[in-house]
Amino acid sequence: EVQLVQSGAEVKKPGESLKISCKGSGYSFTSYWIGWVRQMPGKGLEWMGIIYPGDSDTRYSPSFQGQVTISADKSISTAYLQWSSLKASDTAMYYCARHADYLYYFDYWGQGTLVTVSS
Amino acid sequence: QTVVTQEPSFSVSPGGTVTLTCGLSSGSVSTSYYPSWYQQTPGQAPRTLIYSTNTRSSGVPDRFSGSILGNKAALTITGAQADDESDYYCVLYMGSGICVFGTGTKVTVL
């Protein structure tokens, strides 16, 4: 069974750094892209970017390029989303999802990680 | 930057049919955009319904169908049920591995 399990909720202050995780299981982690999706409170879904853990090839939405870093550690089947300096506007639910290559869609989803940034 | 547009809301009667669309701020949607559709209820992670225009994801009832209608991608719910009341999002492939979510449609069943 394919599963994506995300790390728990975080409460941070503006300017702090953060790295959240997404652990895949039940499939070959290095053979599928993993993506991240943002959902700000009361708003829609936003496609942030994807990474191919096999070779760490990463693609970012222009809206998120330079704002976040997506990485992966294939030795532990885990993808990451990180911020070097959080802003209040980073407050959101973040989902990871497996991204099917060549068909360009998300087929399995994590449960979400709520990030709250507040002074 | 290209905006992917969806109707903000739709209302459908139980047993009725509703068609949601997914368009581009400039240009037409074709199968080359690999449109996919997702359902999200409040407090839940999204659920994948349709990919590659018209292929239903595993376990998705056949009352959900995808197509290209004119210059847009479309999701049709035939025989709407109460638990279809959700937000629906499309995704389009823009090239170079990048995709974009649509603005989302809130469907009410009443």
Set of chain B residues whose Cβ sits within 8 Å of the Cβ of A95? 45-46
Set of chain A residues whose Cβ sits within 8 Å of the Cβ of B40? 45
The string of pLDDT tens digits covering residues A72-89 is: 999 999 999 999 999 999
Q: Write down the pLDDT at residue A103.
A: 82
Q: How many whole angstroms separate alpha carbon A100 and alpha carbon B9?
A: 29
How many CB atoms neighbour CB A57 within 10 A? 11
The distance from CA A76 to its chain's CA centroid, rounded to whole angstroms, is 16
Q: How many whole angstroms separate alpha carbon A97 and alpha carbon A77?
A: 13
Query: Within an 8 Å CB–CB cutoff, is residue A44 touching chain B?
Result: yes
Residue type, B65: S
For residue A47, the cross-strand partners are A37
* Residue B8: band (very low, low, confident or very high) from pLDDT cuts 50, 70, 90: very high
Q: Write down the pLDDT at residue A58.
A: 97
The string of pLDDT tens digits covering residues A99-112 is: 987 889 999 999 99
Q: Write down the pLDDT at residue A101.
A: 76
Q: Write down the pLDDT at residue A110.
A: 98
Q: Write down the pLDDT at residue B59.
A: 96
Q: B42 to chain A, minimum CA–CA distance in Å?
A: 10
The string of pLDDT tens digits covering residues B40-91 is: 999 999 999 999 999 999 999 999 999 999 999 999 999 999 999 999 999 9
Set of chain A residues whose Cβ sits within 8 Å of the Cβ of B46? 37, 45, 95, 97, 106, 109
- Under an 8 A CB cutoff, do B45 and A45 touch? no
- Under an 8 A CB cutoff, do B98 and A61 touch? yes
- Tell me the CB-side half-sphere exposure of residue B38, using CA atoms within 13 A: 27
What would the mean pLDDT of B29-38 be, rounded to a whole number? 97
- Under an 8 A CB cutoff, do B91 and A44 touch? no
Query: Within an 8 Å CB–CB cutoff, is residue B5 touching chain A?
Result: no
